[in-house]
Amino acid sequence: MKILVISLAGIGDTLIATPLARELRLNFPTATIDFFVFWPGARDLLLHNPNVDGVIQKNLVREGTLRSLRCLLSLRRKRYAISLNTHPQSKRHYRLVALIVGAPIRVSHAYDNSTWLDRRLVNRSIPQDYSIHSLENNLRLLPLIGARERLLSHEFELFLTPEERAWSADFVREHHLAGADWVGIHTGSGTTKNLRFKRWPLNHYRELIDRLLKDHATQQVILFGGPEEEVDNQELLASSGSPRVIPARTPTVRHAAALLDRCPVFLSVDNLMMHLAAAMKVPRQIVIESPTYGPTLAPYGHPFTLVRNPMTHGRNLDFYKYDGGDIRGSPETLTRCMESVTVQAVFDAVLLALRDH
């Protein structure tokens, strides 16, 4: 039997789907289990995963209609028996992909924007649940394919290589971080739709870093990020003018995870790096609440500190639902929303984390 897991949304969403892969392997030990992903980073996270037989990565937007259709028809020729659309994939296009791939059993969640058409694109579905994590929403698909949860507990799974761990050890050694006070910071967020508006303002990060450097004479700050954060990180490096602010130019997302495995304190909004930090069990994790934050994507199975957002606290669903749309609100409103999280509030959380470490 062949099973295709369709995980075309964010890179972090693919990491969240790794417990589903393990449960599929336990339920169908002889099946071929493949993943279909959009982002190269999502493909990288699945490398060396013993529960995954193959990964097909294709940027369907960049490829265009004709090439994308050829890719989907090639998947159709593999004759998958089951396809599962992971949570959250609310855009109808994801279910259209499942229809074209053509598995006889096509499983998905029903979202706020679901209509009769979605019920034609997939043939088995269950309503999503905003009160539980996306990981748990994924596992609720298992009964729809005659499977069940075999494990009592779950966690994100990432299988790092000795070479990736050695790279992080060399980084720590080169910058004298072993046993030192240091905090990892990631300023970014997703870049699709209008997700850039969930970023904490760069000038807030600048002030935070300045205060951390002044508060501790030995404090070091490691700036995580890929190409999308390079400009912001360069601005923070230039404004600090301190050798104690160090860019972590990780070759891949897997190297970033290996470095997080050695990180004592980590700060971000809800994004891929937040999930990686939870997966690597960073001792002190701090999350700045954004409009998209909620139970479906909190750091799973790992303690963390949430710095509350005064404008979203308690009504995040007013700003963002899984209905295929953007974060609700004008650019001005969303900017004010993230500005409302004060530097003092984040500084206090980081300071407490450093003292407790």
DSSP for 189-250 reads ---STTGGGGSPPHHHHHHHHHHHHHH-TT-EEEEE--GGGHHHHHHHHHHH--TTEEE---
Give the DSSP letter of residue 144: G
In this prediction, residues 231-251 reach a mean pLDDT of: 94
* Confidence class for position 70, pLDDT limits 50, 70, 90: very high
Do 325 and 207 belong to one domain?
A: yes
Number of domains in the chain: 2
Residues 119 and 187 in one domain: no
Q: Which helix (H) or strand (E) holds 326?
A: none
Mean pLDDT for 275-289 is 97
Together in a domain, 124 and 231:
no
Same domain, 55 and 168: no
pLDDT digits (tens, 9 = 90+) for 319-357: 999 988 899 999 999 999 999 999 999 999 999 998 876
156 in a structural domain: no
> Is 151 within a domain?
no
Residues 210 and 127 in one domain: no
The answer to whether residues 284 and 305 touch, using CB atoms and an 8 Å cutoff, is yes
Record the pTM: 0.94
Domain limits for position 37: 2-145
Q: What are phi and psi of 190, to 5 degrees?
A: -60, 155
> What is the domain-level CATH number for residue 237?
3.40.50.2000
Say whether both 202 and 229 belong to one domain.
Answer: yes
| 113/234 same-domain check | no
The 10s digit of each residue's pLDDT in 137-174 is 999 999 999 999 999 999 999 999 999 999 999 999 99
For residues 190 and 266, state if they share a domain. yes
Paired sense of beta strands 124-127 and 305-307, if any: unpaired
Same domain, 333 and 258: yes
Give the rounded percent of residues in the chain with a pLDDT score beyond 70. 100
Domain boundary among 145, 170, 202: 145
Residue 157 lies in a domain: no
| Per-residue buried b or exposed e for 56-88, using 16+ beta carbons within 10 Å of the residue's own CB | bbbebeeeeeeebeebbeebeeeebebbbbbbb
| Long-range contact pairs involving 329-334 (C-beta distance under 8 Å, separation at least 24) | 329/197, 329/291, 331/194, 331/197, 334/194, 334/197, 334/198, 334/291
Residue 150 falls within a domain, yes or no?
no
Report if residue 152 sits inside a domain.
no
Examine residue 316 and state whether it is found in any structural domain, yes or no: yes
Q: Is residue 154 part of a domain?
A: no
Residue 94 has pLDDT above 90, yes or no: yes
Q: Is the same domain home to 198 and 334?
A: yes
